[in-house]
Amino acid sequence: MYRVLYRKWRPEKFSDVIGQRHVTVTLKNEIRSGRISHAYLFTGSRGTGKTSCAKILSRAVNCLDSTDGEPCGRCANCVGIANGSILDVVEMDAASNNSVNNIRSVLDEVVFTPSDAKYRVYIIDEVHMLSPGAFNALLKTLEEPPPHVVFILATTEINKIPATILSRCQRFDFSRIDVHDIAERLTQIAQEEGVSLDSDASLLIAAVADGAMRDALSILDRCIGLSENITSGTVREATGLAGRDYLFTLGEAVIKGDVPLAINTVNTLHKASKSMSLLCEELSQHFRALMLIKTMKQAAESLIIMTRDELARAKEQAEKLDLSRIVSCIETLQSSRELMFRGGNNKIEFETCMIKLCSPRLSTDLGALLARVERLERTYAAGIPAAVTQSAEPARGEAPSPGADEAVQQEPRQTAEPSAPAKPERSAPSPGMTAAEKIAWLCAGAKPFDQWEDVLEVLKGLTRITATAFKGTTAYINGDYVLIYSDSDTVTTYLKNPTYRDKIKSALRTVTMRDLKLGPYKPPGAPAENDAEPKTKLDEFIERFSNSDIKMTVE
């Protein structure tokens, strides 16, 4: 009968265990010196060698011809324990035998001396699954064990083990196996199995295995079922992973903000039966690589599993993105993957995630906001005005109304290169224009101000009352002027008030990194101020009173 690779190549000696030297060296020294503990606790992630070391330890403590702490594998005890004929070594799965009665049946046998071996060894796998009553039943025996008994407990969730159990065991923490160690071991096994495994494929399998040797061997087994000439393409086909080209295409879509390219790429991968959750994880790993390149430069190459060509492409993409933007992308991808595991349509969730990545404005998380602030700071430091929608030529002239600033000063602009033909300048307002005519002149060349919603969000933090008053308004921009349109008289009142106007200008400065001036927007065809309804006697009285030297004191 065919034996799967992870069973066929299970370590038989401590020297065969990969990536756990801190554990195997200590265990061999204890066996060689005869300082064998009554209880061991092996903890770590799956596939790192906990159960394998427990089996090796059970043979080593009972070996009749141990050499340097290793089991010989040839004596009667080693052979009997390996084939299961010696019943003094008991392996128990706590996931299915977790009751008090199961533990009591084991403890009833503990008092008897071993029949064939030196020690009675009890290997309890997934020990964290034991019930509280079972732990209590085991506690007394661990505290005062018979001299011929060794308990080996293994778990992946050390946090679920009671402190009373932890304090009575000798604990060993198994770490995730290094990617290069897994790849090297896979290459050796592939040679023994008579299959071809290129270096890129072995590294990809090791990366997907995430530090678990057993998972790596299972993936290799699947790849051998597809082809005996295993390449990185074979690995991706066997595991349902997206190719690197797709990842770079999606990364380029994020850099350019190209939503159609991102959605079309996702749709192509979905039609090819690619797992959306795995694709999300791979894209997250891709942005992690960009993050390491951005922060660690050359040292990052040892932490990134890529070919030379892929590494060069990754460096190009990293140069085009801010570090805060990369971190924001990783956080968005991780959040999206969590939502996938909760249920729902994975394709829709990943498409939504890609739209957020391509359009940072849609993301409201802290990382996205920091990325936007960093972009504004960079452009400001470079002397480039922040990106706002504005007319080709700035307007000149004085403030068009009492609600606007009193003067407009033309900011210095970069002149065109000498070889470029000069563009005809748009005619400026004549000095004799009335305020209404200047407003009309500004409004005629104004364009929608796309960042107005961002300004209102910042304004809400400065003064919620003002932000509420301007909610639902529309803004336009012409040169250095932001012109606000609203049918409400309240908005006009707030624009005329210097306190509120300064708050709005402060919010504009925060968003655009520019000092902009305010004014009202009059749609083309709207009646001018001169055509408005005649002033009432009360209005005339207030106007005369405000122009006089009379002062009133209100108590």
Query: Collapsing DSSP states into helix, strand and coil, what is residue 137?
Result: helix
CB atoms within 10 A of CB 182: 27
Cα 377 vs. chain centroid, distance in angstroms?
24
Q: Which helix (H) or strand (E) holds 477?
A: strand 474-478
278 near 286, Cβ under 8 Å? no
Dihedral sign, Cα of residue 373, residue 375, residue 378, residue 382: negative
Kindly give the residue spans of alpha helices, DSSP state H, lying in 94-228: 100-110, 132-143, 163-166, 179-193, 199-209, 213-226
Per-residue HEC secondary structure of 234-268 comes to HHHHHHCCCCHHHHHHHHHHHHHCCHHHHHHHHHH
Question: How far is Cα 126 from Cα 226, in angstroms, rounded to an integer?
Answer: 33
**Neighbour count for residue 189 (Cβ, 10 Å):** 18
Q: For residue 452, what are the contacts with CB-CB under 8 A and spacing of at least 6? A: 473, 474, 475, 482
CA-to-CA distance for 168 and 160, rounded, in angstroms? 15
d(CA 46, CA 52): 12
Determine the residue type at 176: R
With contact defined as beta carbons under 8 Å apart, do 383 and 514 qualify?
no
Q: What is the pLDDT of residue 551?
A: 44
Q: At what angle do helices 76-83 and 50-60 cross, to 10 degrees?
A: 140
Is residue 218 within 8 Å of 4, Cβ to Cβ? yes
With a CB cutoff of 8 Å and minimum separation 6, the contacts of 6 are 213, 214, 217, 218, 221
pTM greater than 0.75 (yes/no): no
Residue carrying the six token digits 């290069």: 180
Domains and CATH numbers, the chain: 5-174 (3.40.50.300), 179-239 (1.10.8.60), 244-379 (1.20.272.10), 397-407+433-525 (3.30.300)
Show the 3-state SS of 279-294: HHHHHHHHHHHHHHHH
- Output the CA–CA distances (angstroms, integers) from residue 19 to 24, 123, 148, 184, 369, in the order listed: 10, 22, 31, 11, 41
Identify the helix (H) or strand (E) that includes residue 408: strand 407-408
**For residue 418, what pLDDT is reported?**
43
* Residue-level pLDDT, tens digit, the chain, 555 residues: 788 898 899 999 999 999 899 999 999 999 999 899 999 999 999 889 999 999 999 999 999 888 888 998 889 999 999 888 888 899 988 888 888 888 888 888 888 888 888 899 999 999 999 999 899 888 888 888 888 999 999 999 999 999 999 999 999 999 999 888 999 999 999 999 999 998 888 888 888 888 899 999 999 999 998 888 998 888 888 886 656 788 999 999 999 889 999 999 999 988 888 889 989 998 998 999 999 988 887 766 767 777 677 888 888 999 888 888 898 899 899 989 888 888 778 899 999 999 989 887 766 555 556 666 666 665 565 554 444 443 333 443 433 444 444 333 333 444 434 444 444 334 455 566 666 666 676 677 777 887 888 888 878 777 777 778 788 788 888 777 788 887 777 777 777 778 778 888 888 887 777 788 887 877 765 555 444 444 555 455 545 554 444 444 333
Q: Is 433 exposed, middle or buried (0-12, 13-18, 19+ CB in 10 A)?
A: middle
- Is the CB of residue 66 less than 8 Å from the CB of residue 77? no
Residues 433, 528 contacting (CB under 8 angstroms): no
Helix (H, G, I), strand (E, B), or coil: what is residue 304?
A: coil
* pLDDT at 254 (0 to 100): 92
Q: 16-26 in b/e burial notation, b at 16+ Cβ within 10 A? A: ebbbbeebbee
Query: Looking at residue 52, what is its pLDDT?
Result: 92
**pLDDT at position 187, please?**
92
End-to-end CA distance of the chain: 104
Minimal CA–CA distance to 361: which of 378, 375, 382, 346?
375
**Per-residue model confidence (pLDDT) at position 166:** 92
Cα 355 to chain center, whole Å? 16
**Using CA atoms, how far apart are residues 395 and 444, in angstroms rounded to an integer?**
11
Between CA 234 and CA 239 the distance in angstroms is 9
- Helix H, strand E, coil C: the string for 437-464 is HHHHHHHHCCEECCCHHHHHHHHHHHCH
Alpha-helical (H) ranges within 20-92 are 21-33, 50-60, 76-83
CA distances from 530 to 439, 521, 522 (A): 12, 16, 13
Q: Among candidates 139, 129, 131, which has minimal Cα distance to 167?
A: 139
